Structure 1
């Protein structure tokens, strides 16, 4: 007979597992709060004690989920065994995993055609795979969140550093490119020649322009000959590259 109950006490499950439903009332009249009570009062049914202890051990080890007065049973909450309750679904899964050869009638339908049904083992395997996949997804989601947080921190640091550099007069990459474009264009107009080959400036070469700058602004910071030559050369290269691109 298939039970339609949604939950069981461990003793109830052991009684049904042993096929002693007809003796349930007799068994439950005994004080079963002590582990050895079943074996003491019903030595003629040794498996009743064995099966009950199997269920209790599974609950204590965390292998079989159970509750006590509605609260989950944990390592710190394992008293009042007479009030423990197991959900039918959890009990069925526990049987399938640990006692695949056992098919108690109170849990498993007997003599039914399952040709078009997915086996319980297959379902449990699929359920385990889905759980593993979900754990992987959760782990990846946590890693993504951590990377996003790191990126946000780096972006904030970069913005702060750019602001500090600009405040100190150190150009950013964008302003550096703009400066090179301006200086390169100025040099092209100042010391270059027109398309028809005419001189465009009183300065015949870049060297003459540098000499004039040094003559007019002697001793100013960042206006040494080596600095000006280097900056002019870099600006002309950049300007030429942009013009070719």
Structure 2
């Protein structure tokens, strides 16, 4: 993760042109673009022949704002006043832009909106999903353990498990996500930047350390179970 956000041009809010420049990965040319468009009454794809990608992304942003898909406002204050779409103070908040981008263009993750780990993930994979599944498994195991202790007043040697159907479901999902994280498409394109199971575990611990089940030992055990379950005959 970049320790110096200003180097990526990260701001609390952006003008549509600033957002389009960053989306197009042309931050180093921002001054030239802003100078070239300073006297233009209408900045659009047709008026940006030297930077066609910026023009395209700018039109995408305006289209989203006009259709109510992307919140906008004035000087960082969100409003729904359509008159602002032609005002010089039109802005888009960083958090709104990131949420819209993740939903509308999940395959595009510009560095000013998404950190390194978020950019590594394939669009269909979310580490929070894996963490949530493991947390549910841990919670169910704890509940079953408490019930067993309540029924048995004397200490007993038991290893409470999930109901077979629930355990199979969770392990299949976790195993499937692992297959995507570490696999590749039929054409040979990797689904993510994770090359090993160890790198997946390290990322989970880095992002969710301290959460129930998020330890190297537990993750290795659960992932091994998930891989065995997915390879077993259905």
Is TM > 0.5 for Structure 1 vs Structure 2? no
TM-score, normalised by the number of residues in structure 2 = 0.43
TM-score, normalised by the number of residues in structure 1 = 0.42
